[in-house]
Amino acid sequence: MAHTGILRPGFIQLRVLDMPAAIEHYTKRIGLHQVTEGRDGRVYLKSADEFDHHSFVLRRAESAGVDLMAFKVREDIDLDMFEKRVTEYGYAVDHVPPGEQPGIGRRIGWTLASGHRIELFHHADFSEPMPLIHNPDVWSVEPHGMRARRFDHALLYGPNIEENLDFFEKVLDFKCAERVDMENGLLAIWLTAGMKAHDIAFVNHPEPGKFHHAAFELESWNDVGHAADIMTRFDISIDIGPTRHGITRGQTIYFFDPSGNRNEVFSGGYTYYPDNPTRTWDEAHVGKGIFYYERELNDAFLSVVT
């Protein structure tokens, strides 16, 4: 269970260059379902194993990347509490009215020191398909594609991640599950609001507001292998994998959508408890931390962002 007013990641909104190609990739290949298309052309997606209206939003644009990531809070009143905290920390908060995205209630948002927009919301309608709740079978509709079970987390690139760490811990009550410390300073942080190894992560990068990947959780290592078969069958561009992380222990593949946004499918990872110490990696072992089997860094993995 989550141990703060923030429950978990709610949704992420990505920019794509070719909407039909993006829809085919995220529905037929990754295994999401299209819930609806908004009047402005944004497309709303979810896994059949998620209750809330959507978890993934696609917006047609001239450049790929991320617009925002939103987290769901326990109660509507938590939005007022967090707005006060965020404002007192020094960030300007704006308000997004209910219905700006279909099925989603009022939201608050602000921009981090790394240049990324974060939002919080409480209300989300349910939408089909979703898990059964009375005498429930394992799935309500037959899984397809890579059989993604949920949008799980994102990794974002930008400057000032030391301030991001301070903000997420002091204002949003996240915990830092793991970090990488280099001789010249902090390289990366993995932050959790609950009992997962991470819900959001940041890597220090000179350009603000950059996107590294959005990740989808799969049931097992066998499903990661099945996803690799799909990537090969449909000539999906693979970055690295199947492999494993030392950091978080997840079993993983990284690949790209048709617009060049990086995706991840993964399974596993350890359970985090709020009394756990932060796991720390140093410069001499960071290769093993990122790619446990290869024990060395992949230049493209570190440098290619949208």
Residue linked to tokens 């097992």 = 220
Asked if 160 and 298 sit in the same domain, the reply is yes
Asked if 33 and 106 sit in the same domain, the reply is yes
Q: How far apart, in whole angstroms, are the C-alpha atoms of residue 273 and residue 223?
A: 26
Asked if 182 and 296 sit in the same domain, the reply is yes
Using 50, 70 and 90 to split pLDDT, how confident is the model at 3? low
Domain count, the chain: 2
Asked if 115 and 236 sit in the same domain, the reply is no
* Active centre residues (catalytic): 153, 198, 213, 245, 254, 264
Q: What is the DSSP letter of 96?
A: E
66, 16 contact by CB (below 8 A): no
Q: How far apart, in whole angstroms, are the C-alpha atoms of residue 69 and residue 154?
A: 8
Q: How far apart, in whole angstroms, are the C-alpha atoms of residue 10 and residue 53?
A: 10
Quick one: what percent of the chain has pLDDT higher than 90?
Answer: 87
* pLDDT 10s digits, 195-217: 999 999 999 999 999 999 999 99
Q: How far apart, in whole angstroms, are the C-alpha atoms of residue 162 and residue 177?
A: 15
Which domain range does residue 20 map to?
6-121
108, 93 contact by CB (below 8 A): yes
Predicted TM-score of the model (pTM): 0.96
pLDDT (average), residues 8-14: 98
Per-position DSSP letters for 287-300, written without gaps between them: HHHHSTTT-S--HH
Q: pLDDT value at position 38?
A: 95
Quick one: what percent of the chain has pLDDT higher than 70?
Answer: 99
